[in-house]
Amino acid sequence: MAAQNQVRFRRTVPTLAAGSDLHSRILPGGSRDPAHDYRPEPVLPEMPSMVVGKRAERVARVCAYSRRADAVHDKARDLLVLEAETSFIDFEAAAKSVAISKESYTAAKDLMERIREGFDNPKAAKDQLLLAYGQAAESQGEYVQAVFEYLLEMAALERVTAGGVRPAFPGR
């Protein structure tokens, strides 16, 4: 903007884009798969290599380009903040789910021990024992699934924050 204001008597004035090759480095393409790895398409800077017209017109046009670039920057930053907040909320929900299912897991483990003792008793109803054993095993499976989802949310949070947030995890 200041460079366009400095040149007074020329009708065409080159911009910074004239001296650089915007296509020298290929930007990675986007991915629209929301389940695995969503990456939006890159937004290229919008700046012509030459601006034509009187000085006031050139300055006004370059100011408009600058405002649009600022708006793209602000939207991208806001989207990153929103994605980080969403990932953190999902991570907290997964952590609560793990805590709840951990209690269920320990109760199911105790129940399975009591059921194993019940199999030694010849008077015990074997059908009820097998049903209880299956429910306890299902509860343990739910705990494993909750831990898996917790790990996925933790990885998503680390990815969104580029490693800035590293939740505590046992063994790390």
Task: Looking at the structure, tell me whether residues 51 and 89 fall in a common domain.
Answer: no
Q: What is the pLDDT of residues 3-40, one digit of tens each?
A: 555 665 566 666 656 556 655 666 677 777 766 676 77
Q: Is residue 143 part of a domain?
A: yes
Task: Looking at the structure, tell me whether residues 133 and 66 fall in a common domain.
Answer: no
Q: For residue 40, what is the DSSP state?
A: P
> pTM for this one?
0.62
Closest CA to 153 of 86, 70, 101: 86
Task: Looking at the structure, tell me whether residues 68 and 116 fall in a common domain.
Answer: no
Q: For residue 128, what is the DSSP state?
A: H
Task: Looking at the structure, tell me whether residues 105 and 67 fall in a common domain.
Answer: no
Looking at this protein, which amino acid is placed at residue 83?
A: E
Closest CA to 3 of 43, 40, 50, 44: 50
Q: Is residue 165 part of a domain?
A: no
Task: Looking at the structure, tell me whether residues 70 and 133 fall in a common domain.
Answer: no
Of 56, 79, 102, which closes a domain? Answer: 79
Q: Do residues 16 and 45 touch, judged by C-beta distance below 8 A?
A: no
Task: Looking at the structure, tell me whether residues 68 and 104 fall in a common domain.
Answer: no
Q: Is residue 101 part of a domain?
A: yes
- Rounded mean pLDDT, 102-123: 76
- Rounded mean pLDDT, 126-141: 80
Q: Is residue 155 part of a domain?
A: yes
Strand pairing of 31-33 and 12-14?
unpaired
Task: Looking at the structure, tell me whether residues 98 and 132 fall in a common domain.
Answer: yes
Helix 55-119 to helix 126-160 angle (10° resolution) is 160
Task: Looking at the structure, tell me whether residues 71 and 93 fall in a common domain.
Answer: no
Looking at residue 148, its pLDDT comes to: 93
Closest CA to 158 of 166, 168, 169, 149: 166
Task: Looking at the structure, tell me whether residues 69 and 97 fall in a common domain.
Answer: no
Of 49, 79, 109, which closes a domain? Answer: 79
Domain count within the chain = 2
Q: Is residue 172 part of a domain?
A: no
Looking at residue 23, its pLDDT comes to: 56
Q: Is residue 19 part of a domain?
A: yes
> What does each C-alpha distance from 117 to 102, 122, 125, 126, 133 come to in angstroms?
23, 11, 13, 12, 12
Q: Among residues of the chain, what percentage have pLDDT more than 90?
A: 14
Of 57, 79, 101, which closes a domain? Answer: 79
Looking at this protein, which amino acid is placed at residue 65?
A: Y
Looking at residue 54, its pLDDT comes to: 81
DSSP 134-159: HHHHHHHHHHHHHHHHHHHHHHHHHH
Task: Looking at the structure, tell me whether residues 60 and 28 fall in a common domain.
Answer: yes
Q: Is residue 170 part of a domain?
A: no
Q: Is residue 73 part of a domain?
A: yes
Give the structural domain span for 134: 85-160
Looking at residue 92, its pLDDT comes to: 93
